[in-house]
Amino acid sequence: MAAEKEYMSLEEVADAMGVTYQLIYRLVRAGELPAARLGKLYRVSRSDLANYLNRSKREATEGGTCANCGTFYLSKGALQQACQKCGAPVCFDCWTRRGVRLCREHGGEG
């Protein structure tokens, strides 16, 4: 009756979501997914996981791909800027660190 457990290991979370353990571990380390640390192991509560999934689903529908570098972002927060010619989204990384103001098609730097 694993489904009845209140807390899941990161492996179980990864299994349930169909993603890799490494991805889950990164989410936890980044503070995206709340987890309690027990010794060397992390435990994620089902309600925290459900909250995270709801949130990421919502953000995924708002996410997009940078029209310059092609990186996919889950959250639109990373894609606030836009190509000055066509309005295609440009990520913060291209915009602030590389000074790109255009999508690749319009002369941005890939």
- From the list 18-26, 28-36, 46-54, 87-95, the region that binds Zn ion by CB under 5 A is 87-95
Region of residue 20 (left: phi > 0; alpha: psi -120 to 50; beta: else) = beta
- Restricting to residues 8-67, name those near Zn ion by CB under 5 A: 66
> Where are any strands of DSSP class E within the chain?
7-9, 36-38, 41-45, 64-65, 72-73, 81-82, 89-90
CB of 59 to Zn ion, least distance (A): 18
- From the list 4-12, 27-35, 42-50, 94-102, the region that binds Zn ion by CB under 5 A is 94-102
List interacting residues with Zn ion (CB under 5 A).
66, 68-69, 83, 85-86, 88, 91, 94, 103, 106
